[in-house]
Structure 1
Amino acid sequence: YQLLRDRLAAELPLVQLGQALPASDGELALAHSPDYIRSIMDGSIDPKLMREIGFPWSPAMAERARRSVGATISACRAAFRDGVAANIAGGTHHSSRDKGGGFCVFNDAAVAARLMQAERARSSRQPLQVALIDLDVHQGNGSASIFRGDPSVFTLSLHGQKNFPFRKEASDLDVDLPDGCGDADYLQALEGALDELERRFEPGLVIYLAGSDPHEGDRLGRLKLSWDGLEARDRRVFDWAFARRIPLAFAMAGGYGTRIEDTVQAQVNTFGVAVQYWRRWQNLAR
Structure 2
Amino acid sequence: MNLPYPPLVFHPVYSQLDLPVRHRFPIEKYQGIHDALVACGVPPGHFTTPEALTAADLTAIYQQDYVSALCGGTLDHQAMRRIGFPWSEQLIRRSLTAVSGTCLTAALAQEHGLALNLTGGYHHAFADFGSGFCLFNDLYLAAKRVQVRDDCDTVMIIDLDVHQGDGTAKLAEHDDSVFTVSVHGEKNFPHRKQTSDIDIGLAKGTGDDEYLTTLDETLHLAFRQCSPDFIIYDAGVDVHINDDLGHLHITTPGVLARDKMVLDMCKQKGLPVACVIGGGYQRDIAALVDVHLQLFRAAGVIR
TM-score between the two structures when normalised by the length of structure 1: 0.92
Residue aligning to 2:221: 196
- With 33-42 and 17-26 compared, the bigger mean Cα shift is at 17-26
Retained in 2: the 8 A contact 1:31–1:107? Answer: no
Residue aligning to 2:20: none
Residue aligning to 1:11: 40
Count residues in correspondence: 272
Runs (4+) off by over 3 Å: none
Residue aligning to 1:284: none
- With 164-173 and 16-25 compared, the bigger mean Cα shift is at 16-25
Amino acid at match of 2:91: M
Give the deviation of 1:46 after TM superposition. 1.1
In 2, Cα distance between equivalents of 1:229 and 1:127: 32
In 1, Cα distance between equivalents of 2:60 and 2:116: 21
Provide, for residues 135-163 of structure 1, a one-character-per-residue CA deviation record: whole Å limited to 9, x for no partner.
00000000001000111001000000000
RMSD: 1.4
The structure whose residues are more often helix, as a share, is 1
Give the deviation of 1:12 after TM superposition. 4.1
In 2, Cα distance between equivalents of 1:237 and 1:51: 34
State the SS of the aligned residue for 2:86: coil
TM-score between the two structures when normalised by the length of structure 2: 0.87
Change (3 A) 1:127 1:272: closer
Residue aligning to 2:13: none
State the SS of the aligned residue for 2:176: coil
In 1, Cα distance between equivalents of 2:153 and 2:37: 31
Give the deviation of 1:266 after TM superposition. 1.2
Provide, for residues 97-133 of structure 1, a one-character-per-residue CA deviation record: whole Å limited to 9, x for no partner.
0000000000011111111112x1xxx3x55210000
Are 1:251 and 2:276 counterparts? yes
Alignment counterpart, residue 178 of structure 1, candidates 196, 200, 203:
203
In 1, Cα distance between equivalents of 2:137 and 2:61: 7
Give the deviation of 1:11 after TM superposition. 0.7
Amino acid at match of 2:54: S
Amino acid at match of 1:71: G
Residue aligning to 1:54: 84
In 2, Cα distance between equivalents of 1:265 and 1:47: 35
Retained in 1: the 8 A contact 2:152–2:229? Answer: no
- Percent identity between the two aligned chains: 38
Give the deviation of 1:17 after TM superposition. 1.1
In 2, Cα distance between equivalents of 1:196 and 1:183: 20
Give the deviation of 1:14 after TM superposition. 6.6
Amino acid at match of 2:240: H
Paired residues for 1:1-286 under 5 Å: 1-13=30-42, 16-118=46-148, 120=149, 124=150, 126-275=151-300
Change (3 A) 1:26 1:128: farther
In 2, Cα distance between equivalents of 1:129 and 1:117: 7
